[in-house]
Structure 1
Amino acid sequence: MLSRRDFLKLVVKGAVLGNLSQLISPPLAEAVSAGEVRKLPVIMIETGTCTGDSISLDNIWTPTFSDIFTNIVDWRYDWIMNQAQGDALYGILRETYEKLPNEYILIVQGAMVQRDEGNYNHVAYDYDNNKLITGIDFVRHMGLKAKYVVAIGSCAAYGGPAAGYPNPSQATGVQNILPERRVINVSGCPAHPDWIMGTLLHLALYGEPELEKFGRPKLFYGETVHNRCPRRRDYDQGIFATDIGQKECLFRVGCKGPVTYADCPIRRWNDRFNWPIGCNTPCIGCTEPGYPDLMSPFTVHLPDIPFPGGTKVNTDSIGLGVLGLTSVAITGHIVTSLYKGRLQKNLLRSSVKSQHRPAIKKVKAFHQYRLKKNKNQE
């Protein structure tokens, strides 16, 4: 069977699923048939979601869903895929919970809707007690006995668009309502199918993958989009696009690649054919905590970067030969600011100012007029 080292090499090459059929499926199928490996039972639930991650997962190119179901996992519950319904379907959940504690994986898609005790989001019906089950109750009930809890998509991971301002549903990520568990976050809007199935593969074959600070598997979220971007040379040479649709580096038209951790440049979509920057549009930071609010507006250039001591480095000077240690320091400061939330706050503050600059000017002019008038009256 494929070693973990070889598996990680496939990840680095961006070919996890592309080579899976040849390298993993046959020996894994033999091991399952011989009883040497037990397929991981999977319960997948959708809460406050647009179903985008299910659609992403359904579009796996190779292997097919049939290969995955046959060789890797025991997909026991997923309301899109289920053939059963009613009490028979609820019985599957009951059986999994009672007979397979600490063996099944709970996959959650969608934000946790907390408003009015979660009653704006019902995900199942309890036929034993004749009542609706909220997303929060379901995830807490099933999650506490799961072997692993995996949040797929930015809504499940961090709240995502569902938790965007003003957040009337009080949406949040899975980790916030399951503090007792270590949730594996496979973020993205939507998450790439490789990230989802690659994480499940690692769980099935090798156990929990190494996670970074925000609970994401390092094998997919270990580097920034910027580090692997094919337009990095343009950035280093100061060759920037002035508008969306151009083929130069998109940093000055809002690309959030320098502060976004994901392997999109090597992973791509639609059987490795394209991705946002390949379509000449900026990265919008959809894998990061605080998305979309803290990355909006998507086409606004990053603000000046404040350094300790009150000095500032204008981001327009980055890539104009000012590289070396300065570039490393800037990148490190961006990362630190992202972790502490400073960069997102600066982005949001600068975007709000740019949107309301005309109104701010009018208010300032009005106050100056009032001050001048008061002085004249005195």
Structure 2
Amino acid sequence: MLNRREFLKLVVKGAILGNFISLVTPELEKALAQGDIKKKLPILMVETGTCTGDSISLDNIWTPTLSDIFTNITEWRYDWTMMQTQGESAYKVLLDMEETLAHEFILIVQGSIARRDNGHYNYAGLENGQMVTGLDLVRRLGLKAKYIVAIGNCATYGGPASGYPNPSQSTGTQTILPERRIINVSGCPAHPDWIMGTLLHLALYGEPELEKFGRPKMFYGETIHNNCPRRRYYDQGIFATDIGQKECLYRVGCKGPVTYADCPIRRWNDRYNWPIGCNSPCIGCTEPGFPDLMEPFTNHFSDITFPGGTRETTDRIGRGVLGLATLGIGGHFLSSLYKGRLHRNLIQSTNQVKKKIQLKKAKTYHTYRPKKSQQ
């Protein structure tokens, strides 16, 4: 069977050369034939306050290959949007899993979780004639799951549903399950590779290495900015002045310097394109605080304060203060910096925009400090 190092190499290779799933599947088939995979992981997906965008995203990767993975590597037991059965018979599957497979199943949460009035702004089931809130169901199942995977920005950090003034007091999964370690697969929506790659890692090797916001490092280890094909324009101080232009989009609101994801190499829609490839700036959809902390999407501002007080300064990133080796900047950058081209072209902070956003969001976000998983 693939060892973990080989698997991680295929994650990157799949993004650069083609479909990640199609590259991994032959090795998984060998493992199945040799009996290396002893037990399939049962999966239960619960949707709360969601637009179902992450299900649609995942559906876009469905092929016979992925179907084989569902059949042989995992058991997709409960997902109300994709199940043939509905109503009581569907919900009975969920109850049976809770009773017979406690601490063995993976719980996937899609959608933000409303907390106001004890969660009675969102219902996720009907049990014994009583409506069950998404808040109660996720908490109940989360305490019995082997792993919890939150997919999409709503389930991970609250997303658009938690935007100012947040009348439903919506939040992400970690907030309502502080005693559990949540694996956050963020994005609006999350890329299908990010979702399936995380599930495959859980099935084969257990929990992946996570970064400070609980996201798998194999997908969220570097900023958009580091791998952007327009990085050379940035280093030379050549900036677009309007959306639709071919130069670096930093001045027209691109949040790539503070956004962690591998979109530049993985891309979207079967790898045909991505926002910057369409001459539109990155809007930071994988980050905590999206969308409010990233708005206005087409306005440049140099400082973004994330939950917990972490401040990322895009001008400092551009000047290499966070480490030339980390950013992979070569001699050309040093030359540009020495000649003053970057300094002349970097824009001063838009303080009014920052203050407006910070005032709006001061009471909305939470610090995410995942605790160790309860097995």
Q: Distance in 1 between matches of 2:187 and 2:23?
A: 23
* CA displacement 1:139-191 (0-9 Å, x = unmatched): 01111010000000000000000100111111000000001100000000000
Over 3 Å counting, the alpha-carbon distance change for 1:327 and 1:120 in structure 2 is: same
Structure 2 residue 267 is matched with structure 1 residue 268? yes
Structure 2 residue 30 is matched with structure 1 residue 9? no
Give the corresponding residue for 1:279.
278
Which amino acid in the other structure matches residue 17 of structure 1?
A: I
Over 3 Å counting, the alpha-carbon distance change for 1:240 and 1:167 in structure 2 is: same
Which amino acid in the other structure matches residue 7 of structure 1?
A: F
Does the CA-based 8 Å contact 2:123-2:131 persist in structure 1? Answer: yes
Does the CA-based 8 Å contact 1:113-1:120 persist in structure 2? Answer: yes
Does the CA-based 8 Å contact 1:56-1:190 persist in structure 2? Answer: yes
* Further displaced range: 237-246 or 6-15: 6-15
Q: Distance in 1 between matches of 2:185 and 2:193?
A: 10
Does the CA-based 8 Å contact 1:225-1:260 persist in structure 2? Answer: yes
* CA displacement 1:201-238 (0-9 Å, x = unmatched): 00000000011100000110010000011111111011
User: Which structure is higher in RCO with an 8 Å CA cutoff and minimum separation 6?
Assistant: 2
Over 3 Å counting, the alpha-carbon distance change for 1:217 and 1:353 in structure 2 is: closer
Q: Distance in 2 between matches of 1:353 and 1:87?
A: 47
* CA displacement 1:70-92 (0-9 Å, x = unmatched): 12210000001112223322221
Does the CA-based 8 Å contact 1:251-1:282 persist in structure 2? Answer: yes
User: What are the within-5 Å matches in structure 2 for residues 88-127 of structure 1?
Assistant: 88-126=89-127
What root-mean-square deviation, in Å, do the aligned CA atoms of Structure 1 and Structure 2 show?
Answer: 2.6
Which amino acid in the other structure matches residue 234 of structure 1?
A: Y
* Further displaced range: 62-71 or 84-93: 62-71
Does the CA-based 8 Å contact 1:295-1:347 persist in structure 2? Answer: no
Which amino acid in the other structure matches residue 57 of structure 1?
A: L
Stretches (4+) displaced over 6 A = none
Structure 2 residue 349 is matched with structure 1 residue 350? no
Q: Distance in 2 between matches of 1:326 and 1:291?
A: 23
Over 3 Å counting, the alpha-carbon distance change for 1:64 and 1:270 in structure 2 is: farther
Give the corresponding residue for 2:25.
21
Post-superposition offset of 1:120: 1.2
* Further displaced range: 8-17 or 68-77: 8-17
Residue ranges of structure 2 left out of the alignment (5+ in a row)? 306-312, 328-348, 358-375
Q: Calculate the TM-score normalised by the size of structure 1.
A: 0.80
Q: Secondary structure at the match of 1:262?
A: coil
Q: Distance in 1 between matches of 2:267 and 2:286?
A: 14
Q: Distance in 1 between matches of 2:179 and 2:138?
A: 12
* CA displacement 1:257-278 (0-9 Å, x = unmatched): 0000111111111111110001
Q: Distance in 1 between matches of 2:116 and 2:47?
A: 17
Which amino acid in the other structure matches residue 93 of structure 1?
A: L
Q: Distance in 2 between matches of 1:305 and 1:77?
A: 39
Q: Distance in 1 between matches of 2:86 and 2:5?
A: 42
Q: Distance in 2 between matches of 1:39 and 1:279?
A: 40
Does the CA-based 8 Å contact 1:20-1:63 persist in structure 2? Answer: no
Which amino acid in the other structure matches residue 20 of structure 1?
A: V
Over 3 Å counting, the alpha-carbon distance change for 1:239 and 1:163 in structure 2 is: same
Q: Distance in 2 between matches of 1:120 and 1:305?
A: 31
Structure index of larger Rg: 1
Structure 2 residue 307 is matched with structure 1 residue 303? no
Which amino acid in the other structure matches residue 242 of structure 2?
A: D
Residue ranges of structure 1 left out of the alignment (5+ in a row)? 307-312, 332-345, 355-378
Q: Distance in 2 between matches of 1:163 and 1:76?
A: 29
Which amino acid in the other structure matches residue 96 of structure 1?
A: M
Over 3 Å counting, the alpha-carbon distance change for 1:36 and 1:237 in structure 2 is: closer
Q: Calculate the TM-score normalised by the size of structure 2.
A: 0.81
Q: Distance in 2 between matches of 1:124 and 1:209?
A: 31
Give the corresponding residue for 2:141.
142
| Identical-residue share of aligned pairs (%) | 68
Q: Distance in 2 between matches of 1:64 and 1:137?
A: 35
* CA displacement 1:81-129 (0-9 Å, x = unmatched): 1122233222211211111111000000000111211111001111xx3
Does the CA-based 8 Å contact 1:303-1:350 persist in structure 2? Answer: no
Report the number of matched residues: 325
Q: Secondary structure at the match of 1:108?
A: strand
